[in-house]
Amino acid sequence: QVQLVESGGGVVQPGRSLRLSCAASGFTFSTYGIHWVRQAPGKGLEWVAFIWYDGNTKSYADSMKGRFTISRDNSKNTLYLQMHSLRVEDTATYYCTRDPGRKPTVQYCFDYWGQGTLVTVSS
Amino acid sequence: QTVVTQEPSFSVSPGGTVTLTCGLSSGSVSTGYYPSWYQQTPGQAPRTLIYDTNIRSSGVPDRFSGSILGNKAALTITGAQADDESDYYCVLYMGSGIWVFGGGTKVTVL
């Protein structure tokens, strides 16, 4: 069955960097686009970034652009989110979630979700 | 920047019907925004309910339905059950590879 497992979260000081990973299994990873979505404690969901199946096209929410980089290694079935210059307001649970469209299409939604990894930015 | 709007909260009686909406601070929601809906209970990952306006995700009961009502996307729960008590989020595709979530609606069944 489809599984997405996030890792890499933890406590980090403001201004530091952190890299999250999302290990995928149960489907042909290289044929699906994948998103990062985050949720601050007690708050709503916020879309972070999307990467197409081949990694050649990426998009970001304005508030994350320039600080966050989404990438993927299709040989390892793994998605990444490199976060720099972290701020207290980046504290959130970060989810990876799949777009159900198989290459070359995108379905503009999310189907399977991981359980999330918590990032806490605090001094 | 365009904001996606949702009602903050709704209350529905068991067996009742409730319609949640998903609008834009400027403009109308159409199918071209590919509205989708997600259910989330505290401490859990979101669950996909509806995508592409009105297509139910696998395993979602048919008491959940999606539509466009006027200038908004809508999620209707018909015959609400106790375990429908959750937060519900819509998300719209804004074009150019950008998605925006609404603020979520907390549904109480009582």
| Secondary structure (DSSP) of chain A | --EEEEE--EEE-TT--EEEEEEEESS-GGGEEEEEEEE-TTS-EEEEEEE-TTSS-EEE-TTTBTTEEEEEETTTTEEEEEE-S--GGG-EEEEEEEEEEETT---SS---B---EEEEE--
pLDDT of residue A103: 85
Which residues in chain B are closer than 8 Å to A63, comparing Cβ atoms? none
Spell out which residues of chain B touch residue A44, defining contact as CB-CB under 8 Å: 87, 89, 101-104
The answer to whether residue A2 neighbours chain B at the CB level (below 8 Å) is: no
Which of B99, B101, B105, B106 is the best mutation test for A, with the most CBs of A within 10 A? B99
pLDDT band per the 50, 70, 90 thresholds, residue B2: confident
Please, are residues A19 and A83 in contact by the beta-carbon 8 Å criterion?
yes
Tokens of B9: 């909260």
Per-residue pLDDT tens for A33-72? 999 999 999 999 999 999 999 999 999 999 998 999 999 9
Report strand pairing: B98-101 vs B86-95: antiparallel
Phi then psi dihedrals of residue A50, to 5 deg: -140, 145
Residue in A22, A50, A26 with CA at minimum distance from that of residue A106: A50
Of the candidates A26, A20, A6, A7, the residue with the CA atom closest to the CA atom of residue A97: A6
Residue A107 is predicted with a pLDDT of: 86
What length is written for chain B? 110
pLDDT for residue A97: 98
